[in-house]
Amino acid sequence: MRIVLLGAPGSGKGTQATRLKTELGIAHISTGDLLRAAVKAGTPLGLRAKAVMDAGQLVSDEIVLAMLEERLEQPDTHAGFILDGYPRNLAQADALDRLLKRIGQPLDAVLKLNVPDADIIKRTEIRFKAEGRADDDPETVRRRLQVYAQQTAPVADYYSQRGLLTEVDGVGAIEEIFTRLMAALKSRSTAAV
């Protein structure tokens, strides 16, 4: 099963993707995690990406696509994958479409977690205190939400037009939201039969 998980920063994509990975036995690919690993390792790419990430802006499409292509070459993705944090704009959605066509692995579903901005701000404040991610400070979160509204929100329409999108209420207990996501996947696969 190949899934894209959409949602604003702090909407719970990472947490839910980890659960889905375990439940479905597929790879979890977070472009944010890949970028943070490159920053930590001090690679040339990581050094270029760091300032952009700290400012709450998007890293260049070319860099992220190259990282994703490399990740999709790893064998653990053959059973399927869940993409968390990609695509972030329409150009990335198109690039993903072309890449997955080329490797013969089209998407099965796109799930979008809906969480109001007020909850996002509360959640990221908690994460900022717990994990100290520079881009979780309240001012940067506001910028990330703007970037999301302007560049990432249209990606949902892109997938809706292709009949792939299911929206899921992302407010509630982690287990409850996970149950909703699994139900959404189940109803999609039943509808496809």
**Using rule CB under 6 A, residue 32 touches ligand AMP:** yes
Mask for 68-107, x = binds ligand AMP (CB under 6 A): -----------------xx-x---x---------------
Cβ proximity to ligand AMP, 27 vs 64, nearer residue: 64
Contact 131, 76 (CB under 8 A): no
CB of 74 to ligand AMP, least distance (A): 18
Q: Is the dihedral of CA 80, 89, 99, 66 positive or negative?
A: negative
Determine, following the binding rule CB under 6 A, whether residue 188 of this chain makes contact with ligand AMP: no
Going by C-alpha positions, the residue among 135, 95, 98, 141 that lies closest to residue 121 is: 141
Provide the residue count of the chain. Answer: 193
Burial of 20 (C-beta count, 10 Å sphere; 0-12/13-18/19+) = buried
- Minimum CB distance to ligand AMP smaller for 35 or for 177: 35
Of 12 and 181, nearer to ligand AMP (C-beta) is: 12
**Is residue 155 a contact partner of residue 87, using CB atoms and an 8 Å limit?**
yes
Of 26 and 147, the one with the shorter C-beta distance to ligand AMP is 147
* Residue of 20, 45, 64, 111 interacting with ligand AMP (CB under 6 A): 64
Say if CB 5 and CB 83 are below 8 A apart: yes
Q: If binding is defined by CB under 6 A, does position 135 make contact with ligand AMP?
A: yes
CB atoms within 10 A of CB 53: 20
Interface with ligand AMP, residue 35, by CB under 6 A: yes
Judged by the rule CB under 6 A, the positions of this chain that interact with ligand AMP are 9, 31-32, 35, 52-53, 56-59, 64, 85-86, 88, 92, 135, 144
